[in-house]
Amino acid sequence: MDPKQEKTLRIVKKAAIGVAAAAIVAAAAFDSTYTITEQEEAVVTTFGAPASQKEPGLHFKLPLIQKVEKVNTTIQGFPIGYSQDSTEEKEMTEEESLMITSDYNFVNVDFFVEYKVADPVKAVYASEDPELILKNVAQSCIRNVIGSYDVDSVLTTGKVEIQNTIKDAIIKQLENQDIGLQLINISIQDSQPPTTEVMEAFKAVETAKQGKETALNNANKYQNEKIPEAEAEADKILQEAESKKQARINEANSEVARFNAMYEQYLKNPEITKQRMFYEAMEDVLPDMKVIINGSNVNMNTILPLEPFSTESGAQTEAKSEVGETEASGENS
């Protein structure tokens, strides 16, 4: 090789080394920063020791020494018992949804699981696929709980209790697994018998139960309306009785006071009081009888009937009255 070729080769080698060095420097500079959003946390590994970085924004790391892996910390979820495509149409996955109840009936139950990353370091390094582990744990707990309830509870009245029981069981299992995930909620999306005939029968049962609830609500409503009316009527009767009682007490007190007052007058003037009481009694006994008391002397008082006790003609009444008055005048004279 001539000297010119050797010189050219050396120049090319130096240029290649310079380009490689520049590329390495550029790559190191590009790999020395990373950005965290508000919905993320980063796991920074330095010589195999992981650490969590939660503050959002731009951060620096040591190129080729530190490794960064970002973790989504928002609430995520997945279905159990069905799959959902981009058009949001559900397609049943029978191997996940078909279950057997405590009374040996088959039923299809669909669930949706919501979770979030609670510990990013454990979520990254504790397992290869923490979501798959959570799904397996959820399916196991679902089948155990569904198997302890009868089919009527699964399809109608026991859904809320079943959801809560499954949630508690999954939370306990996650504490034992310690994979860095936190269960937020699990809810039953749908539950139905596997055949059309059984489905119609359970719909009829559900309709009957709703009718029962409606009848009970109407009965309670009627009871709530009638009880206040009855109580108001009873209160009205009690008030009227109390009013009559008080009126009779007042009347009795008045009679007592009248009697006492009369008795005081009687003690002062016995004869006058007796005659006055006699006249008042006669007025009460013979209300249609006209009475004239003639004379100022007590011993000369005379009671003269001016009208008959029975109904007679006007002329006869007047004649008898005139005769009575004449005879009374003669006797007094």
Q: What is the DSSP string of 238-294?
A: HHHHHHHHHHHHHHHHHHHHHHHHHHHHHHH-HHHHHHHHHHHHHHHH-TT--EEE-
User: What is the pLDDT tens value at each position of the chain, 333 positions in all?
Assistant: 566 666 666 666 766 666 665 555 555 555 677 788 888 888 888 887 888 877 777 877 777 777 888 888 899 999 999 887 655 677 878 888 989 899 888 889 999 999 999 999 998 888 889 999 999 999 999 999 999 999 888 888 899 999 999 999 999 999 998 999 999 999 999 888 876 666 677 677 778 888 888 899 999 988 888 888 888 889 999 999 999 999 999 999 998 888 888 788 778 888 877 787 787 777 777 776 665 655 555 454 454 444 444 444 444 444 444 444 444 444 443
pTM over 0.85: no
Check residue 48 and give left, alpha or beta (phi > 0: left; psi -120 to 50: alpha).
left
